[in-house]
Copies of this chain bind each other. A is one copy, B any other.
């Protein structure tokens, strides 16, 4: 499992004088596509080599390991994040609205790459794009009046929440539309006497959409941040 500190300002590989750099990016891009298509689980250096019409030994001349490759694959997620723009004629947003919009956009990016989510574990994204997103978001909050110490803590809490939510909802292995039925069966088979509240809550939770559930939890955090800001 790769750690965040493993990422380095200058990407690796014996980058000669420009050409190898290009190969490195071609490899990362192809690897990202492959993970999207077949999942992090099924991703194989042999498959990647095949798709690039080369050999695995050649891949290892540009990246030092599969782990390192995955660090850069994850960073491409953050390249897709587009900071929620303040719309033209609209009134200036509060930090609260800006934070919510950022979280929703981050969630949207993650939901589009379910197969990549397992790679986010124990890997705070600190690749070039990951850092840029954090800096942009901190700036959005601070410029709207939220003090930096609180903004930094809010960013951490929100990032944890969004990633955790996405992992359990979108990641391969999470219940899809068909598996939801199996889950229903599972709950119905539970002894209602033993888990009355769990069952009652499950019945209630199915009445709200997943998006709403995401927003409700998010607002818990944002309201708490607001309280910290006032006190």
- Residue numbers of A with Cβ under 8 A of B are 1-5, 7-9, 41, 117-118, 121-124, 126, 131, 134-135, 138-139, 142, 148-149, 151-157, 160-161, 163-165, 167-168, 171-175, 179, 182-183, 186, 189-190, 194-198, 200-201, 204-205, 213, 216-217, 219-225, 227-228
Contacts and interface: CB of A to CB of B under 8 A. Distances in A.
A220 B217 CA distance: 11
Nearest to A157: B217
Nearest to A199: B135
Contacts of A9: 186, 189-190
Contacts of A167: 121-122, 164
- The A interface is mostly helix, strand or loop, or mixed, namely helix
Contacts of A121: 117-118, 121, 167-168, 171, 173
Contacts of A152: 201, 204-205
A125 B186 CA distance: 13
Contacts of A227: 223-224, 227
B216 A220 contact: no
B194 A135 contact: yes
B217 A186 contact: no
B228 A224 contact: no
Nearest to A179: B5
A20 to B, nearest CB: 22
B156 A195 contact: no
Given A41-B1, A197-B142, A220 B213 contact: no
A171 B164 CA distance: 14
